[in-house]
Structure 1
Amino acid sequence: MADKKLSKVEGIKGDSQYLRGSIKEDLLSDAPQVSSDNFQLLKFHGTYQQDNRDERKGGSKSYSFMVRSRIPGGKVTAAQFLAELDLCDKYGNETLRITDRQGFQIHGVVKGDLKSTIRGINESKLSTLSACGDVCRNFMCCPAPHHNSPIHDEMQALAKKLAMHFAPKSTAYSETWLTDEDGEKTKVAEVNFVEPIYGKTYLPRKFKFGIALPEDNCVDIYTQDLGLMTIVEDGKIIGYNILVGGGQGMTPAKKETFPAVGKRMAFATTEQIVEVCEAIVKVQRDFGDRVDRKFARMKYLIHNWGLEKFKAKVEEYYGASLPEPHPTDVTDVDDHMGWHEQGDGKLFLGINVENGRIKDEGDFRLKTAIRVLLNKYGMDARLTALQGMILCDIDPADKADIESILKEHGIALADDLSLSRRYSISCPALPTCGLAVTESERIMPSVMDDFDGLLKEHGLSEERVTVHMTGCPNGCARPYTPDVGLVGKARGKYTIYLGGNAQGLRIGFIYADMVPQEEIVSTLSPVFARYKSERNEDEAFGDYCHRIGLEALTAE
């Protein structure tokens, strides 16, 4: 790679003095946007500059920023949740979005309010550091607050430990956002400083982690750069199967790009896992593609090398050989919606948040309902990978009152929703995502209305058919692994993927391309008719499509 020209972003990172750049100067300027270099560096600080295409006037762009909080395992206190709601009202567009990676996003923040927003998040003891950028991003983990065994607590503790271990150590973040202008003068650079894990130019591309159980792959570990499958024997975690090389993004113009699920590489004990994870990250750091960012994810390194060579290099960096994976594999997934016992005498309640958007709109007043509940009961909350939320530590005596508050604010309970709607997610797409070619979040409710009608028509309303939608092929909402994936291809048109499953074990195949939004359901109706009559006992829709295959499904 030494004789090839590195990508422009590599130069920006290398010259940034460990993520400083000229961000502080840019924040003081009157311009509504930042420079192209700082546009890239701000991602590491947890914010993306965006342009609201709905608000463009006379051809000029309408700039604002999306601010993302990194929340390991999706665990937040009532105070932190309320703080994010306050900040979205004060500085954002008055909505708060739960991401499909268990974080929060505040949209519509203008540049002049960016520092106050990020500082406010930090004052609540959350952070935006490394929520974006070429680093290890949010560490996902099953959020279920089960307390009748230590398993979930230990998994969530590992997510937090890994998040702290892999967080950038440069003080650029605190200098930029947490230091008063009239306070102590900040350093231009840290003398003799080197990022202990990332080095001067950080990683070639973003890096995603997830931790789950075989019986509950609720964070889609096969779609992660590094997935950890928790192995339990006799009620105790003995270690983790290590899955490497997942990744959902692709670029249609570059035919060599592809979505991928992770490969089963090795097993590591609980004592080994952090150091093994570090070895994997460092191999990607040193050998990932820094020339073409389209091929910079770790899945391409593994594709080019092969798993055997990649594992050998990881073992070299780790300093010892690693055994083959435990035979256990993913068997199911749970959305954690509805009422559940925690195992300690308390209850938890999973609330579906359609497409993750917390808002007040007409009779639907989810934002107000959350404020009422958190102020009244003060319970902790968890964010799910399906863009939902969990309220924890509920006294059974309060169940009726909590249900009443939700219903008064127009919030449907889990039992009132179809399984398909509960398991559906989408990316934000238009109007603010710069990569979007068409709609996703804003049309997903109507798409799911039509989808529920389709399932009812074929007598399949009780089936769990997972549907993920994105406004472009980059795959933020993991559209390549569910039963049905809807991927934006052009304005108002989508590629339909079939043959994945709820467990997220494989990549689906293209069933139809360039399908207008209004024809999605009619295009799928014949497939569901065949599924109803031809499926095996207890066979899920995606498993049926995978078994039958594209050729048989499209045969006249």
Structure 2
Amino acid sequence: MSESNNPNIVSGPLSDNERLKRESNHLRGTIEQDLKNDLTGGFSADNFQLIRFHGMYQQDDRDIRAERQKQKLEPLHNVMLRARLPGGIITPTQWLAIDKFADDKTLYGSIRLTTRQTFQFHGVLKPNIKLMHQTLNSIGIDSIATASDVNRNVLCTSNPVESVVHQQAYEWAKKISEHLLPKTRAYAEIWLDEEKLETTEQEPILGDTYLPRKFKTAVVIPPQNDVDVHANDLSFVAIAEQGQLIGFNVLVGGGLAMTHGDTSTYPRKADDFGFIPLEHTLAVAEAVVTTQRDWGNRVNRKNAKTKYTLDRVGTDTFKAEVEKRAGILFAPVKPYEFKERGDRIGWAEGVDGKFHLTLFIENGRILDYPGKPLKTGCRKIAEIHQGDFRMTANQNLIVAGVPVQDKVRIEQIAREHGLIEDSLTRQRSDSMACVSLPTCPLAMAEAERYLPESVTELEGILAKHGLQQDSIIYRITGCPNGCGRAMLAEVGLVGKGPGKYNLHLGGNRAGTRIPKMYRENISTAEIMQELDSLIGAWAANREPGEGFGDFVIRTGVIDEVIDSARDFYA
């Protein structure tokens, strides 16, 4: 296709990222040469971007940046690595290996569970980067395509109860992930020292300049919307009959990132294209990706995501192109309903008679804290556990497949190490934040470090109004890029500057409505004052079972966002 004969392609000078990808020799760049440069702990300009395709972001500790500048030192450059784990499943053996690497070779010693249902290492210095990849490879894990302009780690509902359907859905998540991976051998050559082959590489799905922007995919099993389907470019909603998976409803065009002050950017819900039987899953996934590859905006990266392509060309036009490329026609949507999000904290019994223990990990940060040695506890469980672990898209950890005879011992270890606390409130488990400061270079305000005290204040407000048994889907993100998924919360805080946030209201518990900005650039004290007043009104005037987000819409506190392009800034 060319710009001259296809009205669905944006014309104009391409963004510099397109040059970078085109000149990268299929994502190799000069990363190998940079690794040998010991004059700096960082990577050069193009390689700074290219390592993202290999699952890494260059960062530094912003808490000590100014002090290092005074000492005439460069920032303490290091990388964050995000692993590729479709569906978030990991074995105890793998867990023990990542635990050891975090202890021995990272600056912070932690394992960070993320909203992309995988783990991150933070603080890996340049001399240890290749060792990190080789360590992961030795246990069957990689970080291929977990960042930048590719299809990222594929999420899957961490359903510990419907074991048969979950296993089937999980297998499809793995297949989708493998099908959409880059075909370049760059990762193996650079990090695993595999032989360089004299072949002409091709990227039949992603294309030689890869996608216009990042692309996120999820598989979800109703009624639990624990992966936030509307945060993803492409979601497959599992449809089961008589306990067996028969196909998927396909949702396209979700996404939460925006840019402060740029009203051409906005969060958006996905559109439901219709139902497909299982045998068409990979063809449809490929067709959606290639349509976005060819039609996505390569001129303006701020408008390059799939959601903007749908709004620009029209959902029906995009859908028809997917049908054409996949050689299928979508059937009408099969009925489904999302009732809750989050994870079922505590024990649950699966249909197979095995037990699953979901552990709440605040902010997903697994580390040994004073009086609360979470990391040691997880390691001790891994040393005796015969099932697997499941990382959730809500930053929690499931000890899955526990036979009845092991329940008491595993629970004992969890309690001894602070992994189970009877004092955990529903509000705390319904709250989430991105990493933000000090390591994220995009962060404008605190998120992970502010969340615990913020939730404590919110718990106090709920108790003050007699609502201590209730909760609000509450999320904080340190910038408008959306990693904390605040744009699907009933109350969402989006960082604007040190100690200042935009306050968004009006999402719902099911995760099917975008919240709208209520107050801009206000302090944490002002946020809590606003919430105190609004929660008091909710307590006094709510309808039976009415959630906070539904209440503020019904009573006109905030307008409902139905069409984001039209309503979000109106």
TM-score bracket, shorter-length normalisation: over 0.9
| d(CA) in 2 for partners of 1:210, 1:379 | 24
The aligned runs of 1:176-325 (5 Å cut-off) are 176-179=190-193, 186-187=196-197, 190-325=198-333
**What displacement does 1:552 show?**
8.8
* Residue type of the alignment partner of 1:388: N
SS in 2 for 1:53: coil
Per the alignment, residue 94 of structure 1 pairs with 109
Alpha-carbon displacement from aligned partner over 1:430-483 (angstroms, at most 9, x marks no partner): 111111011110111111111111111111111131111111111111101111
What is the deviation of 1:254?
1.7
User: Per-residue deviation at 1:502?
Assistant: 2.4
Provide the rounded CA distance (Å) in 2 between the counterparts of 1:185 and 1:70. Answer: 23
Query: Is the deviation greater in 291-300 or in 393-402?
Result: 393-402
Please tell me the residue identity of whatever aligns with 2:41. Answer: P
Q: Which residue of 2 aligns with 1:71?
A: 85
Aligned to 1:127: 142
CA distance in 1, matches of 2:464, 2:112: 32
Alpha-carbon separation, structure 2, partners of 1:477 and 1:100: 7
Q: How far apart, in 1, do the equivalents of 2:513 and 2:461 lie?
A: 25
1:531 aligns with 2:538: yes
Q: 1:270 to 1:459 in 2, by over 3 A?
A: same
**Selected match of 2:188 from 154, 170, 174:** 174
Q: What is the alpha-carbon distance in structure 1 between the residues aligned to residue 47 and residue 60 of structure 2? A: 16
Q: Distance in 2 between matches of 1:461 and 1:489?
A: 30
User: Contact 2:366 / 2:375 at 8 angstroms: preserved in 1?
Assistant: yes
- The aligned residue for residue 568 of structure 2 is none
Cα pair 2:292 2:306 within 8 Å, conserved = yes
Deviations 1:303-337 (A, max 9, x none): 11121111111112122322232233423335121
Tell me the SS of whatever aligns to 1:268: strand
1:316-362 deviations in whole A, cap 9, x for unaligned? 21223222322334233351210000222221100000000000121
- CA shift, 1:12, in A, is 0.7
- Among 526, 548, 551, which residue is 2:555 paired with? 548
Distance across 2 between alignment mates of 1:473 and 1:525: 25
Which stretch shifts more, 467-476 or 396-405?
Answer: 396-405
Equivalent in the alignment of 2:25: 17
Partner of 1:430: 437
In 2, distance between residues paired with 1:145 and 1:408? 24
Paired residue secondary structure (1:494): strand
TM-score by length of 2: 0.93
Residue 445 (structure 1) aligns with? 452
Whether the aligned pair in 1 keeps the contact of 2:363 and 2:448 (CA below 8 Å) is yes
Distance 1:273 1:546 in 2: 37
How much has 1:396 moved relative to structure 2? 2.4
1:104 deviation in Å? 0.6
Instruction: Check the 8 A contact 1:509/1:550 in 2, yes or no.
Output: no
Aligned ranges 1:135-154 → 2 under 5 Å: 135-146=150-161, 150-154=164-168
Cross-structure match for 1:504? 511
Q: Hey, what's the Cα distance between the residues in 2 that align with 1:552 and 1:250?
A: 19
The alignment partner of 1:54 has SS state of coil
Matched to 1:177, the amino acid is W
Amino acid at match of 2:279: E
* CA deviations over 1:174-217 (Å, ceiling 9, x no partner): 001111xxxx7534xx5222112111001001100111122111
Counterpart secondary structure, 1:416: coil
Call closer, same or farther: CA 1:126–1:551 in 2, change over 3 Å. Answer: closer
Between the aligned partners of 2:417 and 2:168, the Cα distance in structure 1 is 36
Gap regions ≥5 residues in structure 1 = none
1:515 aligns with 2:522: yes
Q: What code does the residue aligned with 1:396 have?
A: V
Q: What is the percent sequence identity of the aligned residues?
A: 40
Match in the other structure for 1:32: 41
- The farther-off stretch of 342-351 and 286-295 is 342-351
Q: Cα gap change, 1:537/1:23 in structure 2, threshold over 3 Å: closer, same or farther?
A: same
Tell me which moved more, 123-132 or 227-236: 227-236
CA distance in 2, matches of 1:546, 1:233: 35
- Residue number in structure 2 paired with 1:411: 419
Q: For 1:349, what is the secondary structure of its paired residue? A: strand
Alpha-carbon distance between aligned partners in 2 of 1:317 and 1:352, rounded to the nearest angstrom = 43
The Cα of 1:282 is off from its aligned counterpart by 0.4
Structure 2 match to 1:117: 132
Question: Which is worse superposed, 53-62 or 252-261?
Answer: 53-62
Q: Where do residues 358-507 of structure 1 align in structure 2 (5 Å cutoff)?
A: 358-413=366-421, 415-507=422-514
Which amino acid is the alignment partner of residue 52 of structure 1? D
Match of 2:176 in 1: 162
Deviates more, 1:490-499 or 1:372-381: 372-381
Secondary structure of the equivalent of 2:419?
coil
Q: TM-score, normalised by structure 1?
A: 0.95
The verdict on how the C-alpha distance between 1:236 and 1:407 changes in structure 2, with shifts beyond 3 A counting, is: closer
In 1, Cα distance between equivalents of 2:18 and 2:392? 33
Per the TM alignment, residue 71 of structure 1 is displaced from its structure 2 partner at its CA by: 0.6
Q: Which amino acid aligns with 2:69?
A: G
Partner-residue secondary structure (3-state), 2:219:
strand
| From 347, 354, 358, the counterpart of 1:339 | 347
The equivalent of 1:352 in structure 2 is 360
2-side partners of 1:457 and 1:518: how far apart?
A: 17
- 1: CA distance, partners of 2:443 / 2:392: 24
- Once the two structures are TM-superposed, the CA of residue 533 in structure 1 deviates from its matched residue by 1.3
Q: CA RMSD in A?
A: 1.7
| Letter of the 2:390 counterpart | R
- 1:58 aligns with 69
Q: State the alpha-carbon separation in 2 of the partners of residues 320 and 383 from structure 1.
A: 34
